[in-house]
Amino acid sequence: MPAFLKYIAVDNFKSYWGSQKIGPLKPFTAVIGPNGSGKSNFMDAISFVMGEKNIVSAISRSASVTAIFELEDGIEKSFTRVVLGSSSENRIDEETVSSQQYLSELERLGINTKAKNFLVFQGAVESIALKNPKERTALFQEISRSGILKEEYDRLKVEMSQAEADTQLTYNKKRNIALERKETKMEKEEAEKYQRLKDELADKQVELALFRLYHNEKNIELITDELQTQQQVVQRIEQSKEGKEEELKEKKKEQGKIGREMAKTEQEIREIETEINKKRPTFIKAKEKVAHHQKKLETADKFMAQAKKAYRNIEEPKNVKLLYDVLQFDPPDIKRAVLFATNNALVCESPDDAMKVAYEMQDDQRYDAVALDGTHYQKSGMISGGSLDLARKAKRWDEKHLSNLSSRRKSG
């Protein structure tokens, strides 16, 4: 336990007559004075109370030295050594104790009498410096009290060596077992991996076979369907061929009939031209009437001009123009007739633009519009003309014309 020496009380010890109390001492205290002033006797008093035996006798038959220590908790503890003639006694806090108990209590304070670790006398440092390494080691062992543990130390050292050898042997065995276990584990993992890959390969092979079988069946179905389709196409072609051959025969017959009718028609045309020449004077009179009515149309032209201006200002869709503006006609005298016939219709580049002009203008106005392909969108909602409508009409005209020719042939 931590403690420091606070007082030394001497009674008739060596040169100290009577009772003397030296202190209080500090953790670091220097005792100085001339020779013979008692410095060495003070050191002897400390040495005596700490358990040293080879001390010069006291002044009288009885002498004592008391060392008072202050412990960590502030409590003071006194150690007293008394000389009575040729005997001595030891006291701790005024209670007589045995020498062994006395020394044990001092050891608890860190004072080892045998090691003499509490005082360094004059010449001791020089003596230690002159010792050889072995003697110095022995001194240190005595101070540290490790010498008394030498036998136990040697025994434990032998046991430690044996334990280290056993440990090394066990470690080597464990390492070998770990290596064998690792190798076995790797072999097991490799075998499991091989088996897993083998199973996966078998599964993949089965899956591949099923995949091929499935697609082969699909291809067979597709080829079968395509074959049936081609067979149907061939059958239709054969049927169409027979019909076309019959139609060709009929067309050849109709061609001869049409040739005869064309000759007859040419004769009729010549007769009509003769009739026109006869009616030419009547045409001249009609022309004079047209001139008369032309003046009436001029008034209408002004009104129509205003309407044209509105029609010509359409900006969206692009390139929308009056049909009248894009027509070329000859003679110029039929200008008003053309204007009347076109009826302010607009011409557009595409059917979509024509439909937008006819029905989807932003000002909610509707206009008659004609696309470049001939489709006519009337603002009333009717749609006519165009390539498809012309094809239908041409087909109807051909059928009608053929029917008329056939009727004439039968009647002739």
Q: What is the dihedral of CA 370, 388, 384, 405, to 10 degrees?
A: 120
The pLDDT, as a whole number, for residue 1 is 47
Cα 283 to Cα 276: distance, rounded to the nearest angstrom: 9
Comparing CA positions, the residue from 83, 76, 68 lying closest to residue 22 is 68
Q: How far apart are alpha carbons 403 and 85 in whole angstroms?
A: 177
Q: What is the pLDDT of residue 57?
A: 54
The confidence score (pLDDT) of residue 404 equals 72
CATH class in words for 298-381 = alpha beta
This model's pTM is above 0.75: no
Q: How far apart are CA 142 and CA 137, in angstroms?
A: 9
Closest CA to 79 of 5, 176, 154: 5
Return the percent helix, strand and coil in the chain, to nearest 5. 60, 15, 25
Answer whether 3-113 and 298-381 agree in fold. Answer: no
pLDDT of residue 195: 92
Torsional class of 405: left (φ above 0), alpha (ψ -120 to 50), beta (otherwise): alpha
Spatial distance between the Cα atoms of 257 and 262, rounded to a whole number of angstroms: 9
Question: Do the beta carbons of residue 72 and residue 3 sit within 8 Å?
Answer: yes
CA dist., res. 181 & res. 167, Å (int):
20
Q: What is the pLDDT along the chain (412 residues), one digit of tens a residue?
A: 467 888 999 988 888 888 889 888 888 888 888 888 888 888 888 888 888 765 555 556 788 899 998 888 888 899 999 888 778 888 999 888 998 888 888 888 877 776 665 676 666 667 777 778 887 777 666 666 665 667 777 788 888 999 999 999 999 999 899 999 899 999 999 999 999 999 999 999 999 999 999 999 999 999 999 999 999 999 888 888 888 888 888 888 888 888 888 888 888 888 888 888 888 778 777 877 777 777 766 765 665 665 566 566 676 777 777 767 777 777 877 777 777 777 777 778 777 777 777 777 766 677 778 787 778 778 777 777 766 566 666 566 566 666 776 677 667 5
Closest CA to 84 of 12, 174, 161, 17: 12
Nearest Cα residue to 287 out of 340, 338, 341, 337: 337
Query: How far apart, in whole angstroms, are the C-alpha atoms of residue 402 and residue 400?
Result: 5
pLDDT value, residue 142: 65
SS3 26: coil
Burial class (CB in 10 A: 0-12, 13-18, 19+), 346: buried
Q: ∠ CA(43), CA(46), CA(48), 5° rounding? A: 105
Task: Determine contact, residues 115/142, Cβ cutoff 8 Å.
Answer: yes
- pLDDT score, position 58: 53
Spans of all domains in the chain: 3-113, 147-278, 298-381
pLDDT value, residue 392: 63
CATH of domain 3-113: 3.40.50.300
